[in-house]
Amino acid sequence: MENKKIYRNWLDKMELSHPLVIAGPCSAETEEQVLTIAHQLKDTDANVLRAGIWKPRTKPGNFEGVGALGLKWLQRAKKETGMMTATEVANATHVELALKHDIDVLWIGARTTVSPFIVQDIADALKGTDKIVLVKNPVNPDLALWMGALERIHTADIDKLGAIHRGFSTYEKTKYRNNPEWQIPIDLKNQLPDLPMICDPSHIAGRRKLVFDICQTALDLNYDGLMVETHHTPDQAWSDAKQQVTPETLVQMMIDLKVRKKAT
């Protein structure tokens, strides 16, 4: 990967406020819900509106997303608020549909990063796009698998590439839903110093009261961005209800967080 073009420029060139803030619901539920949240986030520090429309749930029988229909809602939210949009893609068809609907940021979820064949299919489908692609760490604490997925995407000539740390599964009970194991993303950063690193405190935490401290740790470690699940009525959310915060809480968090000056 060393010979390939550098990663960092894309984020610096966008001249967004630091840190990059990606916010929005775990899942798009209805058009009204997506638009309500988007409008509440519009004039905040959030630069990008996230919403999952294809939801890889651990157990069957849970809400698995509204599907491609949600892409139109994201497009409308973008038109009405000017925010960039982001969604998860878990196969090549998702990529094609997301690109067709002009989604700005495509992220690969933790359950997809573990699968080299699927990541390769996604990489092939991404070829030729200049969209931003973010790769979450695999569910298991395996740095090589995370790096391998990044390399597959980068080899498809995606230069606007970044990593998202969302914590790792463990069988032991810990206070976190997914243990942060901060050393693994630090090791990734040591190997790829120019790769933008984003923290997803929501999936690390599993509970909204832990989200702030995880954000602060990430900022203390010089992360480039935060992806925070945000919902106007979190307790009624169709997925990940316990970890989502309201747009108002996000605004207060961004006031209270101590942000270091961006490393140059």
In the complex, which residues of this chain contact Mn ion (CB under 5 A)? 26, 240
Q: What share of the chain is helix, strand, coil (3-state, %, to 5)?
A: 40, 15, 45
Query: In the complex with Mn ion, which residue's Cβ is closer, 26 or 197?
Result: 26
CA angle 99/103/107 to nearest 5° reads 90
Q: Residue of minimal CB distance from ligand PEP?
A: 109
Query: In the complex with ligand PEP, which residue's Cβ is closer, 109 or 225?
Result: 109
- Residues contacting residue 143 through CB under 8 Å, at least 6 positions apart: 184, 187, 188
Q: Residue of minimal CB distance from Mn ion?
A: 26
Phi and psi at residue 130, to the nearest 5°: -115, 25
How many residues would you count in the chain? 264
Minimum separation from the CB atom of position 193 to Mn ion (A): 29
Question: DSSP 3-state assignment of 3?
Answer: coil
Minimum separation from the CB atom of position 94 to ligand PEP (A): 13
- DSSP letter at 235? G
Binds 109: which of ligand PEP, Mn ion, none (CB < 5-8 Å by kind)? ligand PEP
Phi and psi at residue 134, to the nearest 5°: -115, 135
Q: Where are the beta strands (DSSP E) in 30-183?
A: 48-50, 84-88, 105-108, 132-136, 161-165
Query: In the complex with Mn ion, which residue's Cβ is closer, 27 or 152?
Result: 27
Binds 110: which of Mn ion, ligand PEP, none (CB < 5-8 Å by kind)? ligand PEP
Binds 136: which of Mn ion, ligand PEP, none (CB < 5-8 Å by kind)? ligand PEP
Distance between CA 18 and CA 235 in Å, rounded?
29
Minimum separation from the CB atom of position 263 to ligand PEP (A): 25
Minimum separation from the CB atom of position 203 to ligand PEP (A): 4
Minimum separation from the CB atom of position 164 to Mn ion (A): 12
Nearest of 160, 149, 162 to residue 122 by alpha carbon: 149
Minimum separation from the CB atom of position 136 to ligand PEP (A): 5
Query: In the complex with ligand PEP, which residue's Cβ is closer, 109 or 247?
Result: 109
> Which positions lie near ligand PEP, rule CB under 6 A?
26, 52, 88, 109-111, 136, 166, 203
